């Protein structure tokens, strides 16, 4: 095949388009900052715990290991968000020229919210079984798993809301938002780890991604408005929060055999899905049919 194509190769005249190159750099370089800030947000907690937990280094590392184990249980939500981003971003770009593109982006965010809330409820409700993926010595931070699940759900929403600055060539806004999120992560860990222990890292992740979502929405409304159904999405998040709080309260105050508890939690997940079906049936059917 290469030999057959050689005559074609000889006819090609390579040219350097300086204007196009500069435009590419202006668009892409801020995304490098976004990527670096993302690395900070995802990985800085444990290194800071090593030095800021207030004990000697070996004890700090032991505590960091307990936190990292809990974070691994929440990794399923993180993987869900990242996998969504890999699939959604090409989809967003491929539909950018359509007249109804922004409505499609709104539908995707709405569908993601329902799916992510369902996953969060399922993981939280079945945490008594999921925890056996960890050794008995690494389950002390299991109560932080719902916080981390919410944090990674917010990360997935950020992947939805952040598409505007890529489509509108305002990637520097994305860099500033991501850098601001990294500052939030670092500051909360730095100042609160000595006082509250490794729980500060979980709340820092949630605060970081919540801040980034708020910044994306506020700037996006002015520069690239998308008709997100924010009230409906917020309602699903609040219902999820209430059900998680109910699960955690039941664990703390209502002794129950594990099979019954898992059955009750599964019923709460079904209740959430039934609520979503009752309130958004036409939209869900439309999503299912593509």
What is the structure's pLDDT at 166?
A: 93
**Residue 138 near residue 262, CB atoms below 8 Å:** no
Alpha-carbon distance 146 to 237, whole Å? 13
What is the structure's pLDDT at 260?
A: 92
What is the structure's pLDDT at 136?
A: 72
* Model pTM above 0.95: no
What is the structure's pLDDT at 137?
A: 72
What is the structure's pLDDT at 15?
A: 78
What is the structure's pLDDT at 200?
A: 96
Taking the domains of the chain in order of start, what are their residue ranges?
A: 25-289
Query: Mean pLDDT per 10-residue run, the chain (290 residues)?
Result: 74 77 88 95 93 87 91 92 94 92 95 97 92 77 94 97 94 96 97 94 98 97 95 97 96 89 96 95 84
């Amino acid at each position: 095949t290469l030999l057959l194509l050689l005559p074609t190769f000889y006819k090609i005249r390579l040219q350097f388009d300086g204007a196009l190159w500069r435009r590419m750099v202006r668009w892409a370089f801020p995304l490098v900052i976004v990527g670096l800030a993302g690395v900070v947000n995802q990985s800085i907690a444990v290194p800071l715990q090593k030095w800021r937990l207030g004990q000697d280094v070996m004890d700090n590392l032991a505590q960091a290991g307990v936190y990292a184990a809990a974070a691994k249980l929440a990794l399923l939500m993180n993987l869900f968000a990242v996998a969504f981003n890999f699939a959604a971003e090409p989809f967003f770009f491929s539909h950018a020229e359509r007249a109804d593109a922004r409505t499609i982006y709104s539908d995707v965010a709405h569908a993601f919210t329902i799916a992510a809330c369902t996953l969060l409820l399922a993981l939280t409700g079945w945490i008594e079984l999921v925890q056996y993926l960890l050794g008995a010595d690494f389950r002390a931070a299991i109560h932080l798993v719902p916080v981390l699940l919410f944090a990674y759900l917010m990360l997935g929403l950020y992947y939805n809301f952040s598409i505007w600055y890529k489509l509108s060539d305002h990637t520097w806004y994305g860099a500033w938002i991501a850098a601001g999120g990294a500052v939030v992560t670092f500051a909360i860990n730095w100042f609160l780890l000595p006082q509250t222990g490794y729980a500060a890292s979980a709340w820092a992740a949630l605060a970081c991604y919540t801040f980034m979502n708020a910044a994306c929405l506020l700037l996006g409304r002015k520069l690239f408005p998308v008709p997100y159904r924010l009230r409906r999405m917020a309602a699903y998040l609040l219902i999820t929060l209430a059900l998680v709080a109910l699960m955690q309260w039941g664990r703390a105050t209502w002794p129950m055999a594990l099979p019954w508890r898992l059955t009750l939690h599964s019923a709460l997940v079904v209740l959430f899905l039934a609520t979503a079906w009752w309130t958004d049936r036409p939209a869900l059917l439309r999503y299912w049919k593509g």
